[in-house]
Amino acid sequence: MNILFVAIGGSIGSILRFFISIKFSKRPIGTWLANITGSLLLALTLYFYQKGTISQPLWLLLGIGFCGSYTTFSTFGYEVLQMMNNKDYQTAILYIFSSILISIFTVAFIWLMLGNGYPY
């Protein structure tokens, strides 16, 4: 049954991710937006799961399934390589650092704002 929750969440996340890709004409801003908002949702979902506010099936659906397919490291890697291939090194570096740092700070901010300290 757990696999079903992950599969349903993953299906919804991948469809939404595809929609964002189309909406932003397959530009890196779409991937960046999905990764940042996915990090935000994952932080909230994990927080509420660890507090016992949401059930394990909802955690599997949202945290594992949805966030796992909605965020996209493979597209991020491809886009960075494309930028480097086009010798757009400055944009590639900005994209890498802003994606990683904003995602991490978003998760830390959510956890601190919810009064749970850091998620470790």
Q: What does the pLDDT look like over 26-81, one tens digit per residue? A: 788 999 999 999 989 998 998 899 899 999 999 999 999 999 999 988 788 889 99
For the purposes of burial, counting CB atoms within 10 Å of the CB of 24, is it exposed (0-12), middle (13-18) or buried (19 or more)? middle
How much of the chain exceeds pLDDT 90, in percent? 68
Q: What's the average model confidence in pLDDT over 84-98?
A: 96
pLDDT at 120: 54
For the purposes of burial, counting CB atoms within 10 Å of the CB of 79, is it exposed (0-12), middle (13-18) or buried (19 or more)? buried
Q: Where are the domains of the chain?
A: 2-113
Q: What's the average model confidence in pLDDT over 89-98?
A: 96
pLDDT at 118: 55
